[in-house]
Each structure stands twice: as structure tokens, then as C-alpha cells.
Structure 1
Amino acid sequence: MPLNSPTPAASLPNAEESHHPWVSGARNHPLPFMGRALSWLALGLVILALALSENFLVFHTLVELFTVGVAVSMAIVANTTYPLSRNAFFLAIGNGYFWVGAIDLLHTLSYAGMGLIGKGDANLATQLWVSARLLEALVLVSSFAFLHRSPRSSWLLAGYGSVAMAQLALIWAGTFPVAFDPVEGLTTFKVSAEFVVITLIVIAGLLIYFNRRFIDPIIRKLVWAALAFTVIAELFFVGYESVDDALNATGHVAKFISYFMLVMALTRTSLTNPVAMMRRDAGIYEAIPEATMIVSRDGVVIHGNSAARAAGAGGPYVQPGSLAGLDVHTLFHDPATPSGKCAACQALRRGDSEYQGDLHFADGRWFHWSLAPFSVPTDDTDPTEPFVHVIFDITWRKEQKSIAERNERQLHRLIRELAEGVLVVDHEGLVRFANPTAQRLLDRSQDRLIGHPLGIPLDVRSDTEMELFGASATMHNVIARSVEIEWHGDQATLLSLTDITEHKRSERRLRLAGAVFDNTSEGIIVTDPQNRIVRINHAFTEITGYDEATVLGQDPRILSSGRHDPDYFQAMWKALAEEGSWRGEIWNRRKDGDVFPAWLAISSVHDDDSGEVYHVGVFSDISKLKESEARLAHLAHYDPLTELPNRLLFHAHLSQSLQRAQRSKNLVALLYLDLDRFKNINDSLGHPAGDQLLREVARRLRTSLRGDDMVARLGGDEFGIVLEGLNHADGALRVVRTIQKALSEAVVLEGHQTVPQMSIGVSFYPQDGIDQDTLIRNADAALYRAKSAGRNRVELYTEEMTESATSRMTMESAIHQALKDREFLLYFQPQVDMRDGRILGCEALIRWRKSTGELVRPDEFIPIAEESGLIEPLTNWVIDEATAHAIRWRDSGLELPLLAINIAARNITNPNFHDRIAAVIASAGVPFDKIEVEITESGLMTDPTAAGLNLKALSELGVKVAIDDFGTGYSSLDYIKHFDVNRLKIDQSFVRDIPGATDDEALVRAVIALAEGLGVSVIAEGVETVEQRRFLTEAGCIEAQGYFYSPPVPADEFAALLKTGFITPAKTAPSA
């Protein structure tokens, strides 16, 4: 194969580029194109001027024949170039203008002086003119319907033709309105039609503007110019008095220019731009660095790019610069492989839609090849379409893979010879590899290891000592460690075992030898005259962590903590030299690096035989005494439940972090975290479970942070985190994701599994604040947004949150003030019997009219009242006000209806609520059975126990209970059995689309059937039409409220309705 040199491995870019039909594929400079066009336009205008100077009829005929020719040319060009340009917009214009040209031809032939049609009837010519202009305007506007479609040309031609034929039929039938009167001139119809045309042309121009991003700028300007000249022409055509006056002539000149502009636009979009696109695509194809060819199904090269020609230039059959007609197998495939067995050639013959593979040549080289079908955008489909064949050298890649495989084999041999045991265990816990040392330590052959469970812990991230017992009663002490790896494409664990059996045996012998000396709880150390340790006791080992084998022969300085300066030890040695003893407090370091305080007494001991001086030190660990002192300080700065820093220490740390960030110019992230629905866990599982959850969350937060980060419990279920040393906000977001992942694992609390969820608010120093108070306030605002947006979310602080918080606080303050200023009032919506319109009761609805007269919608203040807790005093006010109105109605002689009052979740779960409402009703003198409390399903389930006690107490007094918005909350109906419910309210969302919405119809029938089965009444909310009333009554629901009967009205208007006792839709005011 004459591939001269390897080319880099790369994939062939797709040579076919998708364009919107209006968008130019190549940005040609417009000046040459516009210059030539304007020259032709000038020549045409000169010819028209000469004709006009000689004879108006000749001028008119030239203009009209030009426009007819343009219209027919547009149809021909648009249809013939459509497979290439795919411009459905101009295809629609071309087919439509064909019929415009046809009518314009009839208009020309019928014009005064021609006498070929209609014997020069000016009205006929004008009617044909109006018909053509109306069709032209219709074509321009309707063409935009095909902006994103690909219609059939025949359908467009037939559609516009039917419109044209219909107009001609009306004209020849004499039913088309008169357009020109010999005496009066232009008729009102003709003038009006011209203005209709102008209006449609303007609409077409606006459509171009709204779709301008899809349109080539030059084409857009040309079409706009054509439309503008059409409008100018129409304006001249509404004012002429005779068919040959100056206005008519000027209008025809404008029409001439308009059609000329359309020809220019059509030429650019259908001819100039597609040719430029082909040139560009050919350039892309030539620039592809891989050998790329168009190949027929039988393996004959149709064309090859420059890379293919260069790669095949060394072949015996290749002429310079051409590959066409040559066999692709001979040129580019392995000559040692017959074409009948060549995978690439077989794929070509099969016509696989997509195929690729590697070719290994006899000379050792490797090439990667791929095939993809190649098609030209035409209306016809060629079943034998050619293929794009790409091939490039991958020899280097294959060599590198071979090297990697060889290295892997060498590594395996090395592992087998290691003195350490090495095992690979897959994610199912089965052994996949074990070297000989591992087999010896486990006392198991390879057959008993591979494919079998290991039987020892795998999650040993740091060095862990363990004992391994073999089948033959052997035991080995090992240090085990593990790491996660990828093994043959799957996740696995690499476990290493270091044999420390002999080391452990030595340790046991030393401990046995020192048992006699270990008879005191204080540590004892003996040094020789060279200040080397010659003896220690067991207590020394327990206190310092150093065993005898480690410290014998060592200088006692191994215990040095580094906390004492040289003067300290000089004083010690001076006392020993002068007095023979020294005692005092000293800080030592244990073997594990832990520094601890000790009380040390050193005495000098003289050897009478040798005269040498030994030293004996006796010391005790006084860490507990120090810890007791430190514990008092710890309690002041740490949370006793979670052992996290408390708010006091958190604020101090945050202040220091901001100071460091100011010096280092780094970011600091402040995270405020709050457990979602923690109160539900406390209430349902108890406080011990809540404490357990807090401890577990604290542990997970602590392990999710970096070394310098800080997490604190700020109180309750709220935590704070400070992240410093950040270069970018992404660092904080990575920590947040780590926290979320850590919290995503379930926690078992009192036998129940729960997944902790936290809402997190984040603010950054310095962009969200440069002092801790501002950062805390902004992080808290972000936390509030996370809570409000659905919980278990992360929100970064924005200024909008401050504005939202300010707005919320303003609304809370306004609600407070409105309660004091008595700005709230009650409206009442009647509840009626749909069979006869009899008023059965009413629902009390709160409204807020400010002192300025402005009405505040309930959906603006009710949610904030619920969040802030103000809903409770608001509900109490509604109860007081509603019962007061009921007494006034009774005192005026009206029969009291059933009065429904909405009760908030905070009220119904208040243990004292039933006592308060009972006292209010009794004090007002309203019969208890005339009061109905409405509570939503979600409100009931906030605290089912407390809600149930309140409802039971109220039911025993005679107060009725209704479930509001039934069906929109909890899907379980179990609560209906446990609460004394008298009535179900079908939510208006189910009523709105009935009849017609089958799902809603089924739900409504199900609620009615459920109510009937439970022996409770049912009422429909939001009834607004006769059809809704009919459906509900036929389904078995006879009670309703809604705008069909009456909107919510003030108390005095409801009293007027109550006097009549009935409401019919005919008496209902329009909905407000």
C-alpha cells in the first residue's frame, strides 16, 4: 500500500453542514454583487424612461412583461435550485409569484389600447390588477409559514393557483367588485384593496424583522427594499385619476424596482450562496488531514482529498493529482490480504451504514479505517450511494499498547516475587489475584483462594495489625493495608500483607522479662553514666508508648517535647550535681507524638564498685489533672452533644479567618446549614433519636472538610462552616458536594432508616461582605432561600435575597400594623343547594384593604403570615369577626346559615385552640352546630395527634369539621377514620375543567362516592358554569360555592342575599 507517511489519528469532520434556508453558507462581499445589479437596474430604468416618453402603452407593457418574466423566472429558479438551496421560503414565493405573473399577464393583455382581452375595458384591467396585488400580498405573508417547513412544490403551486383561479372566476362571472368607473375613476373598493395590500406588505416586513436572525443581511435588505417599493407603488396606485397619468406611471416604475429587488434576492439565495457553500465545503474536504475518499460500493475511488492523493502518490497506478477510477484496496489496503477477505472491502460491498476497524499489514504497520454513507441533498434517493472512506496510520498507538502490555507482565512477575503478600479482591469480595507470599501467609493454595471469599476485613486504609490463622493451625502476625484500584476495567481492592510474626514474638519475650520490674504505677527509667537508657518498667511503656526494646540504649532525649529551652535542663543537671536529686513538672512526648505533662523526680545513684553514677527517674502522667483544667475551658467553647465548636468559638475563628484572607487576598466561604424537618424526627422518634442524628451529622460534616476548615454547631439543628484559603468559589462548591454526598447515606434511628437532608446557604468574602456580621446575615438569607425553595438545596447569596428578606420583613411589619389598625375585613361566599339555589351557608374569607384604599391580595400576605407565625393571630381575628357578624345577622332577624371558617395549621395544632374557639362561640351566643371549621389535609398532618385532639373536642361541642382542598394533599385516607369529619370540599382545581377532563371527572366522582360511603356530605368549590353544575348534580353532589352563584361579597351584601334565602345565576353579579 503506497501510504508514504503516517498521519495523526483523527476523525473526519462531517462535511455536510446544516443551515437554515435563509442563512447564507458563505459571507460574500456584497459590493460586486450590488454594483452589477444596480447597473442593470439603471439600464432598465433608462429603457422605461425612453418608452414612457414615446408611448404610455409601450411603457406599461414593458413594465408588466418584465414583472411577468420575473415572476415566472422566480418560479423556475426557486424550483430548480430548491434541492440545493433548501430555501422553502423562496420556493413558496416562486410558486406564488408564478400565478401573480399569470394574472399580471392577463392584466397587460386587457389594458386599454391592447384590446386582446375584454376589448380595453378599464374596469377589467383594474380588477385583474387588484386580484394580482392581493394574491402577491398573500404570497409574501403566507411564505413565512414555510420558514421551518419543507413543503412539496406541487402543493404550493396548486394552493396558490386555486386562489388565483377563484379570483379569476369571480371576475369573469361579474361578481368581483367594480374597481374602476369611467366617470368616477377609482372606486372605494379599489382604494380599500390597495390599502389592504399595503397592510399585508407591512406585516410581511415585520415578519422579516422578527425572523431577522435567520436571514442573510443582504437578502434581508433586498426583500425589505422590494417591500418598500411595493408599498410606494401601492400608494401611487390609490391616487391616479386616469390609467395613463403620472401617478400610475410612477407606481409602475416603483413596481419595476420592487420586482428587480426580488430577482436580486432570489439570485443571491438560490444561486450565489449555494455555489459559495459548495466551494467552502470542498475546501473543508480538501483540508482534512486524514486520507479521505469517496468510494463506490464496488471499491472504485470516485474522489480523494489532498491527504489521500499524497498518501497514495507512491502507488504504481496513481497519476499525479488524481485517484478517480482506481481500486481502493490496491491503493490503501494490505496488499497481502485479498480483497475478498479484506474487512473494509466486505463492509463496502454489504453497504453497512457505519463500519470501522483496524488493518494489520504484513510489514507490521497498523491502520484504522472507517466507512460512512455519503449522499447528496436531492429529491431522488440513489440506492447505490457511495461511501466516505477514511484511513490513517495507528502503528505508533499499537506499539505503545504493546509496550504497556509488556510492562504489565513484568509488573506481575515483580509482584509474584515480593516478600509482602499481595491480593486483589473484586467488588463482590472474591479473590482475583494472590501472589505466593499471600498464599503462604493465608495457608491456602491458589485454587482455594482465586474465586473464593477472602474472609478478612478489606477496608483498612492505614496500617492495621491482624492475626491470620491458617488451615494447619499456623498463625501469622501481619500489617494489612488496602487501596481501591481498577482491575481489568472493574473496581477492586488491592490488599497488602506484611509479615511481622518474628517481630511480635520478640516483643512478647521482652514484656515477659520486664514483668518483675513492672511493680509500680509510676514510670521508671534508669540511665548509665553515658546517659543511655538501660532499664524501664511497664508503667513507663504505658505512659510513653515506648517499649523496652525501643528505648534501651537510647538517650532520654527521645522523650523531649521541645517545649523546654536549654536553661531548663542546665538547671536540672546543676541540681543533680550539687544536691543529687531534682524534681519538678516536665512536658514529655509519647511514642505516638502526643505531648503530655509529667511530675518527675530524678535521683543520682552511685556504684560503689566502679564509682560511676547512674540516674533513676520516677514520673507520673498528670494529664488528667491538666485535662480537668482544660475541660472547664472546653465546655465554654464546644458543644457538649456533638463536640463541635460552639457559636462563640465559631465567631472568633471566622474573625481570624477574615483577617488572614485580607492579608492573603484569598476568598473565605461561610456556609450556614440547617437540617430539614428535624422537628418531625424529634416529634415522631423522640429527642434521643434527634440527638443521635445531630451527632451523626456532625461527624459526617467534620470528615467532609479539609484540614484548615471549621465546622461548628450554632444551636438546635443549625451548623456553620468556614472555608478559607480559597482561590475560587468552585473550591467551596466542591466541599458542598462532598457534604451532600456524605449526608446522602441513610441513618438508622430507633429502628427507622432516614436520610439526613440539609439546606445550605453560602456567602463569600469579600464580594458578599467584608465583616462577619454581613457575611453571617447574607449566608442566613441564602439559607432561608434554600428552605423556601423546597429544602435540601444549596443557595449562593445574591443581593436579591437581601431585598427579598427586606420585603418579607416589611410585609410582616405591615401585617402587624394592619392587625392594630383593623385594616382586615371579611368577605362571605355563599354555599348553596344546586337543586334550587337555596343558601345553606357561607365561607368567611379574609381581605386586606389598606388605609390608602389599596387591596392586598391574600396570596401576597397569607404565605408570609404562615411562615412568620402571624397566621395564628390572623385566624383568631377571623374567628372573632365571623362570629360577631353572625350575631348581627341573627339580631336583624335573619336565619343563621352554616358559617365556615378556615383554620391554619398553627391554630389546629395548638393544644389550647379548642378552648379558645369554644369560648368565643359561646360568648357570642352562636349555636355550635352553626360553625364549621375548615382545615387542609396538609394542615392536619403537620401534627396529627394535636390536630385530632382539637377536632375531637370541637366535634363533641357540635362544631362541624370540613376537609378543605380535599384530594390535593396526602394520598392516604386513613386520617378520615381517625378525625371526626363532617364534610369534604372538592378542590376547585378538579372542578375547573369538568366536564371534558376525564381524569378530573373520575376524581370528582370518586370523592363523591367516598363521601357517600363514609356518611359525610360533600361540597364543590369553584363552580362557575351551567355545565359544571349539571355534571356535579348528576354525579350526586348537591352543594356548591363559586362565581356561578356569587363571588365573595362584603357582610352587608351577603346579608341582603340571606334575606331572599335563594340565589339564582341570573341574579349573580359578574365575577370580580
Structure 2
Amino acid sequence: MFGKFQQCLGAVSSFFPVMPQLTNRNLAIDTLKVNEAKYRSLFENIDQSVIYLDAASIVMAVNQAAEQLLGIPRDIIIGRKFVDSCVTFFSEDGSVLPEERHPSVLALRTGKPVEDVVIRLFNADRQSYLWVVVNSVPEFRMGESQPHQVLMTLTDITPQKQSEDELSMASVIFNNIGEGIFVTDKDRKIVSINDAFTELTGFTQQDVYGQDAQFLQSKKNSLKMADELNNFTKTVNNWQGEVWRRHKSNADFPSWTTVNEVKDSNGEVLHYVHVFMDITHFKKAQDHLGFLAYHDPLTRLPNRLLLKDRIDHSLQNALREGSQAAVLFLDLDRFKGINDTYGHAVGDGLLREVAKRIKNLVRKEDTVSRYAGDEFVVFMENIPNTKNPAKLARKLIDTFNAPVYIKGYRLKVSTSVGISLFPQDGRDTDTLIKNADAAMYRAKKEGRNNFQYYSLELTTEAFEKMSMECALRQSIERHELVLYYQPQVCLKTGELIGVESSVRWMHPTLGLMPPKQFISIAEESGFIVALGEWALQHACMQMVQWLEEELYVNKMIVNVSAIQFLRSDFVATVERVLTSTGLDPSYLELELTGSGFMDNSGQMIKALNKLVALGIELTIDDFGVGCFSFNNLKRIPVKKLKINSSFVADVLDDVNDEDIIRALVALGHGLHLQVVAIGVESKAQHQRLIDLGCDGGQGYLYSSPVLPRSNIFRNLIGEG
């Protein structure tokens, strides 16, 4: 920096020492004047600030650039010691620079150049501090060892120092700011991160250096957002938005991210700066506020606003698809009395428990809402038929038969339910809710603890079914169930090969009811599990009694519904019954009924094989019309197939039925199974079945279902 200038201005020093004697004095004077004028112009007009000091540090000359840099007129400076010229100099650390450390003083004292000393001074004219680089070069006369003057230059580096300070400050901010920052190159490769980045993501500089910026994006980001973030520079030079970020522990978190371009002087992208903050807590607060806007804070169920929105949306779909929907309006019976007696804390606890029980009964696609006070609404979309809401209403009413325990109090509560159907009872949300509410009030007038359809005809049918179900559930404890028995015989010999048990219900008002009038209700309600266990228990007890009386009965046949397998540990139930009654498993035959056995899941096959392992025989009922797959015949070691009575009824008159029986017999015998025909009512049918190869028969020809103590039955089985 200083070398070139020194070469250009070296001759200026000839202005001040004594000139050598010239032979031609006039010529020397003229030459001196020309040179002086030339170098004076150079001295005055050069951009570099230059000051000449003598051996005593007295200022001899100051150029215009130096005058402007110092902010003091030169006539004040020239002739005075430079360090006393009203200019205060500061070191880089901010302290006042002592005279002995001034570059010009050091150069005069040591006789050596002092270069590139950074100092600060106050410019009085600009009223601002400047940073300068000072170079001081001592000059010597021929033969002298001490310098007689010093050439000092000052270079203003204030802009550079400010840039350095800004960079330093930026570095401090970069490393201490709470937001995470990472910088990528123009190809989006990560080149730098700050401390907050590591704190927020768990990744260190070593982990991410050279990685593509997408490395930090979570898979939770939508493809649209990711594409927008990666391509924003096509339209704008900055981007901001919500981005899910990866954490080293795989615990991803949401962030608010801002991305800015950094360009060079030619407008070319050098870097991208990504600044982000963790907004997990903000999102939680936002989600909570959003939740409160659409949910009841006590039960956390959807409120009226969200309920209406969901019903409106669903009804639009239902109109397009031609599907049905239902609104159930529930009101707790006598809730006000509980609230007034036990206080609001208990009342609130009861409402929370009510909400929980309702939620446990509905389908995933159904909406449960706390409508107001002790009123709740259930919206069922896409219902298969109009009976489905009644099934749910019955379950809702039943669930409140169990007492509720709140803060040590045992509470009994019931509910009245009103049902409206879409589209017949209304084609918009408000109408459906209003009509369901009207139906609920009719339920209260009918004695509470029941449900009513808005359409009276549906209410009557559903209520009768519900009444039947309620009565059926009490049939066991009221001792209203009875087992009847019907024999199976060998077609060729007429010998007894087994006895099939079937349940009857002695209804308190309707009299004795056959299974077809109530078994379907038992299956729909789930009561078939308890009913089936009762029937198995009493059939085994009867078999034990017959054996003790030495009455020869080869097999006790008990019907088993697929629902018993699906809703209970049926194998454990059978083992428990056999243990409690003491019946040898070889005397028990289970007849599999219902389409549920078409399910050849591993769990069901395993359970059936466990029964066979106990020594129990299995029979497939209604073979030929049921849904039991042929594949299951290979997987379950059944012993018998029972041909449905519909084929037997017309076997004498319908060639097709005869061919079907012949084919079923051939299939059974091909699998080494016995084939039994049911519904045999005439000797002609009996003989035709023998001709077709059937092994056994069951029907009114041999005996109707009878009580175990019937003389007809006892005469049929005979005594062993």
C-alpha cells in the first residue's frame, strides 16, 4: 500500500533540506522552481493523506487529503508537534494512544519504518470517529545516522472496519440467536449451522455438512409444500411457511421457516439462508383454541357447530349416493334432580361418564355431540336400513341400566331417545334434529327409558322388538327356558344314533315360543352367548341323568351359533361345562349353525380343532344351503353333514332335489362323513333317502321334539 506512493513522492523531500550547490546558480534556481511546482501539485492533489514531520515531530507539511481526513485546517497543524495538534488518537482497544507509541515518534526514535498501525481518531469537521492505517518512514541525510524527518501517510479504512464490525456482530447474532439457522450454497448443500440449530434438531455441523437441505425435512410435509419450498426461487427471492423438521431422535417437530437468497454484485445466487423456530407449543395452543371452538370443554365431544357442519357435509354425500342417515336425540331422565341433590361437580362427572358410554357404543364413522345441558345427539351416516338406529337406541338405553359411580355416589340414570331418518323425516340438518327432538319428547311421555321414531309405524315395530329382547334377557333368571329333544335314527336299522336338543321359551304372555321366533333376536343382541351356555349346561346335565338311569343315548347334540365363537372363549366354556356336569366328552356332539362359520380364520379353525381334541364330534348343519366352505371340510375333522329339510320335503316330487341329495351324499361319503337328512315326515321319504344312500334321519316321522320325561320319548330311546 505504501511502496508505490513512496516511489512517486520520494523527491518531495528536496523541498525542505538545503539544496546542493550547483555550478550554474540561475539554472538551478529555475529547475528547482519547476520541480517544486510539479511536486507541489502532486503533493496537494494525490488522494493519499500525507504529513511531513521534522526530527522534533513538528509538522512541516500537510496535504489537502490529510487536512480533510483530520478535519482540522492545516494552518493550525503546521508548526506544531503532531501529537499536540488537537487530534486525539486511540488504539484498537479504545484507549488513548500514548505519545511514545505514536508511529511517527517510533520511526524517529528507532530510525526504522513503522508500518500498518491501525488507530482511531476523531474528525472534528465530520463530528465522527474514523479508523486509519498509519505508515511512518524515517528519512536520513547523507552520512547521518539519525533521521532528520518522517514521511507519514494515513489511509481511511473506516468502511472496512465497519464491515468487519458488522460481520463480527452478525457472527455473534448468528451463534447466539434463539432461532435455528443453516446456510446452503447455491446447490442447496448445507455449509454452515448455528448453535441453536443443533439445540433444536440434535444434528451437529459434522452430521449435516454437505447434505441437501431436503435432508432436514420430515416426511410429514405435504408434497405440495415440499415442492413449493424447493422451487420458490423461480418466482420470488424469499419464502416463508410452516415446515415439519427432522430431529436426530426421529421426534419431528413443526417449524416456522424463512428462506432468503444471498446474491453477489452480479445478481448471481451465492447462498440460501434458512431461519426457523420450533412452533410446537404455538401449534398446541392453536390446536387447543381450535378444539375449544368446535368441542364441548366438559365432555370433549363435538358441539352444536361441529355437529351441524358434519351433518351438512354428510347429507350432501347421502343425496348424491342415495344413502340413508339417522339422528338420535338423547335426553337423560331426571338429571336435574341428581344435579340439585349432589351438586354440579357430581353432575359434571355424570355427564362425562354418559359421554364415554355413548362413545363406546357407536361406530367410528358416527358423530356424538353434547347438544346442550344433559342432551346428546348421535348422527349415524350411511345406515344399511331403518332398523339400525333402533339397535343402537336399545344399546344406549341398556348401557345406563348399569349404575354410575361418581365421587363415591352410586347413581342410576336412564335415557329417552328420539330418532329421525334421512330423507323421509327431513332433508336438512335443522329439520332432522327438530324431529328427533320431538320423537324424544314422545318417548318421555311413553314412560321414559325407551325410544321412539319420528315415524310412529317404525316406533311400534322397533319397540316391540326391544321389548322382546328385554324380556328374553330375563328369561334365564326367571326360569322360562326349556330344552326339548328330538331323536336321530339310523335309516337302515331304525336304531337311535343321537338326540338333538333345542331350546323353547315360555314367554310370560305369549306362551311357548319355538327357537325361530327369538334366536335371531338373541344373536343380534349378543344374548346368544348366555343362552347358548345355558342350553349346553342343561343338555349335558340331562345326558348325565339319562346315563345314570341306564337309558342308552349315543350322543347329545347341541346347536352352536357362530356368534358364540366370535364373542366368547367358547372352548373354555365347553371345558367348564363338561367339568361341572361330569359328562364324558365322547357323548357330546356340537352342531355348527350360522353363516359365521364360513370364516376360515386361523383363530376359529384352531378353536374347532381344540374341541375335536377333547373328544367332541362336530356336525355341519344345513349343508347345501349354508355358507360353510368346502375348504373348511379339509381343515376341520367333522363327522357328519346334515342335509337341509327343504331338499327332503320335495325329494319324492322334484328330480332336482333328488339329484342334490344324491350329490351331497356322494360328497359326504367321499370325505368319509355320515350324512343325516332332517325333516323326514313320511315312510316314502324314509325309503327314498335309504335308496339315495343317506345314513341317518331326523323328523316328525320318528318323533317331534319332546320333553325329557315324555313317555313317547322314553319309549323311543328304550332302556339300555
Q: TM-score range by the shorter chain?
A: 0.3 to 0.5
Per the normalisation by structure 2, the TM-score is: 0.44
The structure with the largest strand share of the pair is 2
Report the TM-score, using the length of structure 1 for normalisation.
0.30
Q: Which has the larger radius of gyration?
A: 2
